[in-house]
Chains A and B, each alone.
Chain A
Amino acid sequence: AQKITQTQPGMFVQEKEAVTLDCTYDTSDQSYGLFWYKQPSSGEMIFLIYQGSYDEQNATEGRYSLNFQKARKSANLVISASQLGDSAMYFCATPSRITGNQFYFGTGTSLTVIP
C-alpha cells in the first residue's frame, strides 16, 4: 500500500515569508501523482497542486510550488509570500491505482501565519 509521511505536526511562518511543508512517500506504482490539499478551520478540503511522477518540471500554481525530488521520494510544498489566510492544515496525498485510485493521506501539517 502507499504511504505518505508528514513529519511536521505544526509550523509557524511570518507573514510575507516563504515556508516549506515536507512530504515523503512510498508507492508501488510505476506512474503516480502527488497531491496537496488545504483544510482551513471551516473543514473543507481544497485541492492546491499536483505533481506527476513523470513530469520533468516542478509543478507551480500561483504562490504554491512543489519541490519534487523523485530519488529522495519527497514532494515538499512551498508557499511563497505567506498570507494570514494560509493558516490551515495541509495534507499530502497519493492515489493507489490498485484500489480504485484511493487516496492515501498523510497526517497533515498545521500551518500558522504570524502577522
Chain B
Amino acid sequence: DADVTQTPRNRITKTGKRIMLECSQTKGHDRMYWYRQDPGLGLRLIYYSFDVKDINKGEISDGYSVSRQAQAKFSLSLESAIPNQTALYFCATSDLLGRGQGGDTQYFGPGTRLTVL
C-alpha cells in the first residue's frame, strides 16, 4: 500500500461549490504539506503543518483552508471553488527530525486533479 494517499484522485466541480481534498499517510511523519501544481509554474505551497496544533500558511493560501485531524490526516478545503483553482494538488510529508534519507526529503501522494468549471 502507498505511504501517502490522496482522495479523490480526480474531481470535476462547479464554481462556488465547496470541495475537500483528503490526505492520509502511514509514514509516521509529523510534517505535512499541501502544494498545487500549475503548468509551467512548478509546485507552490498552500499550507503546511508541523503537528495537529500547528498549521501555517504557505505562499498561496488565499481561498483555501486546512484541517489536521490527526498526525496521519491533513485535509485541504476550497470553500467556494473558482476556475483558477483548477490544478493538480499534492500532499506531502516529511520527518520532523530528518531521520529519513536526505534529512528533509518530502514524500508525495499521487496527486488530485481538480477541475473547476
Contact = CB atoms under 8 A, between A and B. Distances in A.
A81 B42 CA distance: 27
Interface string A87-101: 000010101000111
Interface residues of A, number: 23
Contacts of A102: 33, 45, 48, 58-59
State the majority secondary structure of interface residues on B. strand
Interface residues of B, number: 30
A114 interface: no
B101 interface: yes
A45 B90 contact: yes
B42 A47 contact: no
B50 A43 contact: no
A81 B86 CA distance: 37
Contacts of B42: 4, 91, 105-108
Interface of A: 4, 33, 35, 37, 43-47, 50, 52, 91, 93, 95, 99-103, 105-108
A100 B110 contact: no
Given A47-B107, A107-B42, A100 B31 contact: yes
Contacts of B94: 101
A100 B103 contact: no
B110 to A, nearest CB: 5
Contacts of B108: 37, 44-47
B43 to A, nearest CB: 5
B88 interface: yes
A95 B94 CA distance: 11
A101 B43 contact: no
| 6 nearest CB pairs, A to B | A50-B102, A45-B108, A105-B42, A105-B43, A95-B104, A43-B111
Contacts of B50: 100
